[in-house]
Structure 1
Amino acid sequence: MATMRETYNVLLSAQKKRARGAPAYSIFVNRPVGRLLATLAFHLGWTPNQVTLVSALFTFTGIGLLAFAPLSVPLGVAIWLLLALGYAWDSADGQVARLRGGGSLAGEWLDHVVDAVKTSALHLAVLIGAYRWLGEVQPWLLVPIVFTIVANSTFFAMLLNDLLKQKRGVPTAIERGGSSTLRSLLVLPTDYGFLCLAFVTWGWFPVFQVVYALFALAAVLFWAAALVKWFRDMTAVDAALTSA
């Protein structure tokens, strides 16, 4: 049987292309950490679905603490670690699938469903935790509500983009590749892994309010620009197919 180093090198050589616009944390931090976790999981004999469930365990433990645990500085650090580890394990499940010869539709379905629940639950947990901390309804509570809408619709639109393009034989963002380092850095504020770092400030709630609101603003600006671009892309695909 291959050693862990040999398995790691296999993953490194078989690394999939970067999706166009993939943010920096996901590329330069989360994917390498996920590769290490995938190597470990493979040698433990775990299946991709088991890795997905481990990811969910870390993520939703952090989300639960965010919503219901007493607010403190150590808690914020713990939430960040749990969310970051959940994200890294989320990167590992696909890599384990590649080591085992390929994934399954059921596994891909499970992965996307967990991601969809996480996308909404994180910001709703912020809403609950913030209300418990503030003790009353305040205008700032609109921030996690807006963030929930934006994050959820962005996630849905990205999946729909790939689904519709694949249906019509058009290369997806991952198939096209070509994400530059500069582009990855520019979209860093929209990176889920980078957002996880904001929860380090959860114990300093006034600081967190500002940091989280800035992330929300970045998400809204990206969402608005991306929706316009994606609609134009779909219009262009329609035009190309009509003229073919």
Structure 2
Amino acid sequence: MNRPTAHTTTRETGPPASETYRQTVQRLSSAQKSAARGAPAYSIYVNRRVGRYLAAGAYRLGLTPNMVTAVSAVFTFAGIALLAVGQPSWVLGISVWLLLALGYAFDSADGQVARLRGGGSASGEWLDHVVDSVKISTLHLAVLVTAFTHFSLSSPVWLLVPIGFTVVAAVSFFAMILNDLLKAKHGSGAAPTGHSTVWRALLGAPTDYGLLCFAFVLLGAPWLFFLVYALLFVANLGYLVLALIKWFRDMNALGSVPARSAAEDS
């Protein structure tokens, strides 16, 4: 999701004339960022690799990172719209999954295109995060719409599941962004990165957006989909509670915040 923002004086607009597609992929692979510790398995082992191939192709076509972000948004929001208005079926579920998965892969590709071109920009990172913030909320609201319209739920109380998932997703995203901002502001740098072990990646699987996307295949059996979706909600809620405790301790370790000015209080 994140696009690099390092300043550079040289920007590439396309590959060297003698560079093949395979060489572009290899060059991108060698410049790949380390995965964040605890990053989920699908994001590391599937989505990043697919995004690499898409990024190499987009780069060779001369697409900018913002163009790739736009492509990601088209696939993602097409899938969300289809989920909200379509009649639940196996065909609908597979279509929603493919659209969301492609959107996620292009979401990974935009930052990789930026690296190939010599670095990203603040506006590009801003656009990427704005698209992500809209995506994570509207996806669960689309589930709410289709559950209310098409599912035979035993009680309206079950509609609280997609509502709660919307809150969990929004809070998780905002808290992670705020973590990085506050750590940078108080001199501790960005969130720690490093080699994500297989064990850490598997532990984070319930929070993996790729797994959530795949769950929509089950729309052909609405009761089974909603059961899996509810279990993912519970897992994400539990993960968020534990993460918030840890993140609060991390923020507390940064020390005191300088006194705010009168203008900031107004």
> Once the 2 structures are TM-superposed, how far is the Cα of residue 134 of structure 1 from its aligned partner?
3.0
In the alignment, structure 1 residue 195 sits paired with structure 2 residue 203: no
> Once the 2 structures are TM-superposed, how far is the Cα of residue 104 of structure 1 from its aligned partner?
0.7
> Partner of 2:255: helix, strand, or coil?
helix
The equivalent of 1:4 in structure 2 is: 21
CA RMSD in angstroms, aligned pairs only? 1.6
Higher-Rg member (1/2): 2
C-alpha offsets along residues 166-214 of structure 1, whole Å, 9 cap, x if unaligned? 11221323x4324221011111110111110100001210000100001
Q: TM-score, normalised to structure 1's length?
A: 0.95
In the alignment, structure 1 residue 181 sits paired with structure 2 residue 198: yes
The equivalent of 2:163 in structure 1 is: 145
> Once the 2 structures are TM-superposed, how far is the Cα of residue 139 of structure 1 from its aligned partner?
1.4
- Please list every run of 5 or more consecutive structure 1 residues that lacks an aligned counterpart in the other structure: none
> Partner of 1:225: helix, strand, or coil?
helix
> Once the 2 structures are TM-superposed, how far is the Cα of residue 148 of structure 1 from its aligned partner?
0.2
Instruction: Give the Cα separation in 1 of the matches to 2:144 and 2:36.
Output: 31
Instruction: Give the Cα separation in 2 of the matches to 1:161 and 1:104.
Output: 20
Instruction: Give the Cα separation in 2 of the matches to 1:90 and 1:77.
Output: 20
On the 8 A contact 2:151/2:222 being kept in 1, the answer is no
Counterparts of 1:1-244 in structure 2, within 5 Å, are 1=17, 2-134=19-151, 138-173=156-191, 175-238=192-255
Instruction: Give the Cα separation in 1 of the matches to 2:40 and 2:27.
Output: 24
One-letter amino acid of the counterpart of residue 39, structure 1:
A
**Number of residues paired by the alignment?**
240
On the 8 A contact 2:75/2:100 being kept in 1, the answer is yes
Displaced runs of 4 or more, over 6 A: none
Tell me whether 9-18 or 178-187 shows the greater mean CA deviation.
Answer: 178-187
> Once the 2 structures are TM-superposed, how far is the Cα of residue 135 of structure 1 from its aligned partner?
6.7
Instruction: Give the Cα separation in 2 of the matches to 1:43 and 1:58.
Output: 21
> Partner of 1:179: helix, strand, or coil?
coil
On the 8 A contact 2:39/2:201 being kept in 1, the answer is yes
Instruction: Give the Cα separation in 2 of the matches to 1:23 and 1:171.
Output: 22
One-letter amino acid of the counterpart of residue 68, structure 1:
V
